[in-house]
Structure 1
Amino acid sequence: MTRLLLPALLALLTLLAGCASGPRFTVDDGRPVNEPLLGGMRAYGAGERLIRPAIARSAALQDRDCDKQWELPFAVATSAGWGENDRVAWVRALQVDERLTVIAITQDSPLPMGTRINRIGGQAGDDGEHLLEWLADARDAGRPFHVGTATGKDVLVTPFEVCRGYTRFAPPNTPQLQDYHWLLSLHPLELTQAEPTPDEALWMVLWTQGLSEEGGARMKTYHYAIKIAGTLYNLATLASGVKAAAMAADAAISAAKSAAANVASDIIRQQLIEQGKALAAQRVRDGLVEAAQQVSRQQVLNVMQAAAANRGSLGGISRIAATAFERADAWAFTRMAALGAPPLAGFTLHQKLIERSFYANAFLFDADRLAALNKVAAARGFEAEVTAILGGFRADALLAEIGAMPLASARASFSFESADDPGAGRFSRGLVDAMLELPIESAPKQK
C-alpha cells in the first residue's frame, strides 16, 4: 500500500511545487504601473500596426535604382530585459511578455497577431532578445526560413525586399525621440495620435525611404559605419522597443538635453504655440468635422515656424538628413503616384498635424518644404486641391508671410563640438548611429 501511495504523493508534491513557483512568464496581476510608459507602449503598438501594412505596400515599387533592405510580414516585441513592473505594463498594453510576440501583421502574414515565437530556423528558446537576434539574421539572409510557435506549429516565413530606410517608431520610454539616418529613421510616437490613414502611413514609409535615397550619400560623408551584424542596431530594426534600444534612447535624450540647455524648439513651444495647441486640442475633443477650416491663420503660421525650429535644432546625422527633407518629399510624392496611391497624402497628414500642433517630427512641413512640394503638386495639376487641403491657405502666401526660413537661417542649434566635428560623445551623431557601435550585450539585464 505504501509503495502505491509513494508515487502519487511525489506527483502531488511536484504539482504543488510548480503552482507555488508561479507562472513562468509575466502576467498582468493588476498592480499599478508607470502610466506614461504604459501609454507609450500602447502608442508604440499602434504605430507598428499602422506602418507594417504600408511597408508591404511599398514593396510593390520594385524600384531597381534604390538600395534595398529586407523586411518581414509581421512586427514583434518582447519585454525581456525590462524591470518587473514594466514587464507587467507590456502585458497590459500589448499582451507582450518575455517571449517574442507578434504585435503587427500585413495582410499576407503567415503568423497571426499575438503569436509567440520560440524557434527561428534550428535555434530554439524563450529569451526574446536572443530570438530577435536570430530573426534579424534570418531576415537579412533574404531567403524563406522556418519559425516555430509556442503552440507547436512550424511556419514558413518569406522576407520581402523594399527600398532602404527602415521606418520605425521611438521606444515607448522616449516617445518624443526623433532620429534620421540613411539606414533607419525613428519617428516620435505623437504621430499615432493624428490617426494617419493607410495612405498617409504609406507616405510616411515612402518618405523615410526617400530620405535614405536622396540624403544617404551626404549623410555617409559625415560618418559611415559598416558593422551591422551583432550590433544593437540590428535588434532595433525589428523591435525599436526592445529594452537595450530603449535604454540607449534614454541615454541619447539625456545627452542631448545636457548639450542643449536652450534648444530652439523649447522656446518656440513656450512662446508661440501654447495657445494654438490648446485651441486645436479643444477642437479635436469637440469633434469638429471641418477642423482644417477652423484653424486660424496665426496658428498655422506659428506651428510651421515651430516646425522650422525643430528642423533647425536637429543634431548629428539628423542635421545632415534635414538638408534633404525637400528631396524626400518629392521622392515620396512621385512614388505614391507610381503605386496608384493618392499623392497628396503628405499634405493631408501635414494638415492633421497642424490641427493638433504636432510640430516636432518630419511630417509637418515648414514653409520652405510646403512651398517646394506645392510646386511639384502644381506641376501635376493639383494646386487647387492642395489649397483646399490646407484649409484655403495658399502655400506661396504662407511662405511669403512667414518669410523664407531655410535651415541655415533658423536659430542655431546645439552642437556637441562644432558644425564639422560631431564630438566625442557616444550619442553625438544620433541614436541610430550609436546603436551601430553598441554590441547587443551592451545593456544590462533587469530582474
Structure 2
Amino acid sequence: MSTAARAMRSLFVLLLSLLLAACAGPKYTVDDGRKVDETLLANIRAYGTGEQAIRPAIARSAALRDPECDKQWELPFAVATAYGWAETDRVAWVRGLGVDERLTVVATAPGSPLTLGDKLLAVRGQKDNDSERLLATLAEARDTGKPFALSLSSGRTLTVTPFEVCRGYTRLAPPNTPEMQDYHWLLSLHALEITRANLTEDEALWTVLWTQGLSEEGGARMKTYHYGSQIVGTLYNLATLATGLRGAALAAEAAINAAKNAASTVASEIVKQQIIEQGKALAAQRIRDGLSEAAQQLTKQQVMNAMQAVASNRSSLWGVARVGATVFDRADQWAFEHALKLGANPLAGFTLHQKLIERSLVSNGLAFDAERLAAINKIAEAKGLGYEVQAILRGIKPDELMLAMDSMPLASAPEAFAYENVNDPGSGRYARGLINAMLDIPMESDARK
C-alpha cells in the first residue's frame, strides 16, 4: 500500500471515529416548532424575567455585610434545566428561555463571568450528564464559599466566586405551579405573579430584603414550630439553585394538591370558602370590572376590596408559612430599614404594593393588607416620608383605609383553616409546607442508586 493510500486510510479512520463519537454523545432538545402548552410557555418566560430582576438584587444585598444576621452563600448567576421534563415541555423550555437538558444560565448579576445562555459542562472538574447530580455538585461548591472552576459547553473554563448574604433565599415558584407560595426561614418561594408587576431595581431589592427580613425576624418562631436540619442530598438543596427543576416542580404540584384535597374534605362551608379564597377571587373580579383600562386610578372601595383579598391570602397559608405570616409586618420593617442602609428607595415596598393592587395581583406575601400598610406607613412617617407614601397610594391615606376596613368581614384577616393544626402538624408530607417537605425528600439521583 502506497504512502498516500495509508494516509487516506488513516484520515478516513479518524473521521469515522469522530463521527461515531459525535453520534454517541448526548442529544439535547431543540425547538422543532411543535405546539406546546402556551400557559406553561408564558410562565417559563415570566420565570426568566423574574430571575433576571432578582439575581442582581441578591448581589446588591451582599453590600449590607450585616454582622447580626445569619448567612447563606449565593452565586452571581442563576441556572435552569429542562432535565426530567416531558418531551413537549422540554421544547417549551427551549422556546421560552433557551434552556435544554443542560444547566443553562438564565440570569446574571453585574460582574458575573457568565452570560445568559451559557451551558455548564463541569463543576470543579466534575462532568456529569445527569443535570441533577451536576446541580448538587454546584450547590456543594457554592456552599464552601470559595472560588471554584466552571467549564462550559463552549469550551471556556472560568472561575466563579460565591458571595455571602443574609439568610433567606429569594426564589420563584416553578412555571408549572405559578401560584405556589411558601415562606420558610431558609427560603421563600414567591408566587410567579409578582413578576407581572415589572419589578424595578429597588422593588426587586425590596423583595430580597423582605425575604431576608422574614428569615431574621421570624426564624426563631418558625423553628419552634418545626426544625429540620438536613440539607445536603435533599431536593431542597437543589431547589436553592433551580426551583424549576422537575423534582421541585413535582413537589410543588403535590403540595398544592394536598392543600386542595384537604380543603374539599372540610365539613364547614364557611371554612371551605376561606381555604379556596372565594372572597379573594370576588375582590379581584370587582377590581377588573371597575377598571376601563389598566392605568385608571382605583377607587377607595376597589383598594379596600383588593386588600381584603390580600388579607384572605395571608390567612390561607399553612404549615411553616402560616407561622411566618405572623411576622410579615416585621419583615416589612426590616426591608425598609435595610433599604435605607443600602442607599436604596425605602418606599419601594409601597410602589410594589400599589402596582400589585392595581393589577389584581393579591396572592402573594409582598402586597400589604390594611394592618401591614398602616404599620409600615407609621415607620415611613417617622422618617418624614408620609406625603410621599400618600402620593404613591394615589392620595389614599393608610390610617383612613384601616378605619374604613374595620367594618368589612375579612379586613382583619381572621384565622383560616389549614389542613393541619399549628399545634398538631399531622402526618402528611406537606403538612408543614413545600420547603419543609423538600428538606425530607432525597434527590432523585440518590433515590435511583
TM-score interval, normalised by the smaller of the two chains: over 0.9
- Contact kept in structure 1, 2:171 and 2:190, CA below 8 Å: yes
Distance 1:19 1:140 in 2: 35
Offset, 1:260: 1.6
Residues 61-90 of structure 1: CA deviation (Å, up to 9, x unaligned): 000000000000000011111111111111
CA contact (8 A) 1:231 1:437 kept: yes
Paired position in structure 1 for 2:34:
31
* Cα separation, 2, equivalents of 1:306 and 1:138: 42
Please tell me the residue identity of whatever aligns with 1:356. Answer: R
Residue 22 (structure 1) shift: 10
Relative to 1, partners in 2 of residues 1:381 and 1:419: Cα closer, same or farther, differing over 3 Å? same
Q: Are 1:83 and 2:86 matched, yes or no?
A: yes
Give 1:157's aligned residue: 160
CA deviation after TM superposition for structure 1 residue 413, in Å: 2.2
CA contact (8 A) 1:214 1:327 kept: yes
The percent identity for this pair of structures is: 58
Q: Which residue of 2 aligns with 1:271?
A: 282
SS of the equivalent of 1:283 reads coil
What does 1:28-427 correspond to in 2, within 5 Å? 28-261=31-264, 262-264=272-274, 266-280=277-291, 282-284=292-294, 288=295, 291=296, 294-403=297-406, 410-427=413-430
SS at match of 2:182: coil
Residue 12 of structure 1: how far off its partner (Å): 7.8
Question: Could you tell me how far apart the structure 2 residues matched to 1:404 and 1:375 are?
Answer: 22
How far apart, CA to CA, are the structure 1 residues paired with 2:151 and 2:170?
26
Asked if structure 2 preserves the Cα contact closer than 8 Å seen for 1:304 and 1:367, the reply is yes
**SS of structure 2 residue aligned to 1:323:** helix
Cα distance in 1, alignment partners of residues 188 and 422 from structure 2: 22
Cα distance, 1:119–1:304 mapped onto 2, change above 3 Å: same
The SS at the match of 1:324 is helix
C-alpha offsets along residues 16-63 of structure 1, whole Å, 9 cap, x if unaligned? 878988982110000111111111111111110010000011000000
Contact 1:145 / 1:156 at 8 angstroms: preserved in 2?
A: yes
Any runs of at least 4 consecutive aligned residues in structure 1 with deviations exceeding 4 A, and if so which? 1-23, 404-409, 442-445
Which amino acid letter does the alignment assign opposite residue 357 of structure 2?
I
Structure-2 change in CA distance of 1:10 and 1:360 (3 Å):
same
Contact 2:55-2:76 at 8 Å conserved across structures:
yes
Q: Which runs of 5+ in 1 are unaligned?
A: none
Q: 1:146–1:154: 8 Å Cα contact kept in structure 2? A: yes
Determine whether 1:429 maps to 2:432. Answer: yes
Give 3-state SS (helix, strand or coil) of 1:186's partner. Answer: strand
The separation in 2 between residues aligned to 1:296 and 1:157, in whole angstroms, is 50
Q: Any idea what the Cα deviations from partners look like across 1:274-297, whole Å, max 9, x if unmatched? A: 0312445x522xxx3xx4xx1111
Sort the Cα spacing of 1:21 and 1:227 in 2 relative to 1 into closer, same or farther, 3 A.
closer
SS in 2 for 1:233: helix
Alpha-carbon RMSD across the aligned residues, in angstroms, is 2.4
Q: Distance in 2 between matches of 1:91 and 1:279?
A: 39
CA contact (8 A) 1:101 1:115 kept: yes
1:298-341 Cα distance to aligned partner (Å, 9 max, x none): 11000000000110111100000000000000000000011000
Q: CA deviation at 1:415?
A: 2.6
The TM-score normalised by the length of structure 2 is 0.92
Q: Which amino acid aligns with 1:147?
A: L
CA-CA distance at 1:407 after TM superposition: 9.8
Question: In 2, are the aligned partners of 1:43 and 1:192 still within 8 Å (CA)?
Answer: yes
**C-alpha deviation, 1:151, in angstroms:** 1.5
Structure 1 contact 79–128 (Cα < 8 Å) conserved = no
TM-score by length of 1: 0.92
